[in-house]
Amino acid sequence: MEQVDITIIGAGVIGLAVAARLSKSGQNILVVEKNPSFGQETSSRNSEVIHAGIYYPKDSLKAKTCLEGKELLYIFCTQNKIPHKKIGKLIVATKKEEIPDLQGLLENGLASGVTDLKILSQKETKSLEPNIDCLQAIYSPSTGILDTHSFMKALLFQFESQAGMIAYNTQVTAIGKVKDGFEIFVQDTREGNFEFFSRFVINCAGLNSDQVAAMSGIVKDEYKI
């Protein structure tokens, strides 16, 4: 039976990012992806926004990782020549009753560490974006956008340049816990059904991650999607 050190299930942006980072360890790593190419599900169906971290509760894990990840993402995009831009974002109040909510968002964002937020008047907002008609707005200059396909290509390049392997058109059908690791059963559109041994399994299957977890015997209510 073939053996690998680490199997990563899913070649979306999370799976590729994990693969790129772990490939530097020198271990034998395989990424398994059921689609014909990488990033063909949620990772290619999003707004491509680099979020500032305004909305998450103070001291929450989401707030912490969003702030740290935002800065790391801008650095990675610059270093790897990935198209991106800090275009900024406006959150607007068009009615008087919406202004307290706007203030609450501002206070939450500042408390979470998004230090560059500021309130703009109606006139200031108009000068920035003439097509907006509002009473007040929060301006978030560190919000941006990126080309997610180029981002994933750069991650894949880093992974494969470190001898990482990726198997497309290969769907995991079962995972069995065995001594010192896992036996993984897959269905390949060309090779048919086969199994291999992996010391570790990392579940990056996106909207199917709860099903993959269940295959390995992890059935928890908080894992259900």
The reported pLDDT for the residue numbered 191 is 76
The reported pLDDT for the residue numbered 3 is 94
Q: What digits encode the pLDDT tens for the residues 78-87? A: 999 999 999 9
Work out the average pLDDT over 174-192.
91
Q: Of the given ranges (23-37, 83-97, 211-225), which has the lowest mean pLDDT?
A: 211-225
Q: What digits encode the pLDDT tens for the residues 34-73? A: 999 999 999 999 999 999 999 999 999 999 999 999 999 9
The reported pLDDT for the residue numbered 220 is 85
Q: What digits encode the pLDDT tens for the residues 78-127? A: 999 999 999 999 999 999 999 999 999 999 999 999 999 999 999 999 99
Q: What digits encode the pLDDT tens for the residues 157-172? A: 999 999 999 999 999 9
Work out the average pLDDT over 192-212.
94
Could you tell me which of 116, 111, 107 has the C-alpha nearest to residue 71? 116
**Residue 1 pLDDT > 80, yes or no?**
no
Work out the average pLDDT over 210-214.
94
Q: Dihedral (C-alpha) 111, 112, 114, 117: value to the nearest 10 degrees? A: -40
* Strand segments (E) across the chain: 3-9, 29-32, 49-50, 84-85, 89-93, 118-121, 136-140, 144-146, 165-167, 170-178, 181-188, 192-203
74: number of Cβ within 10 Å: 17
**Residue 197 pLDDT > 80, yes or no?**
yes
- Amino acid at site 205: A
Alpha-carbon distance of 27 to 224, in angstroms, equals 31
Give the contacts of 32 (CB within 8 A, at least 6 positions apart): 7, 8, 9, 10, 11, 166, 167, 170, 171, 172, 184, 186
**Contact between residue 53 and residue 69 where contact means Cβ atoms under 8 Å apart:** no
pLDDT-derived band at 222 (thresholds 50, 70, 90) equals confident
Give the contacts of 5 (CB within 8 A, at least 6 positions apart): 27, 28, 29, 198, 199, 200
**Residue 134 pLDDT > 90, yes or no?**
yes
Element (H, E) at 108: helix 99-112
The reported pLDDT for the residue numbered 73 is 97
**Contact between residue 94 and residue 45 where contact means Cβ atoms under 8 Å apart:** no
**Contact between residue 206 and residue 12 where contact means Cβ atoms under 8 Å apart:** yes
The reported pLDDT for the residue numbered 190 is 81
What mean pLDDT is reported for the chain? 95
Strands 136-140 and 170-178: unpaired
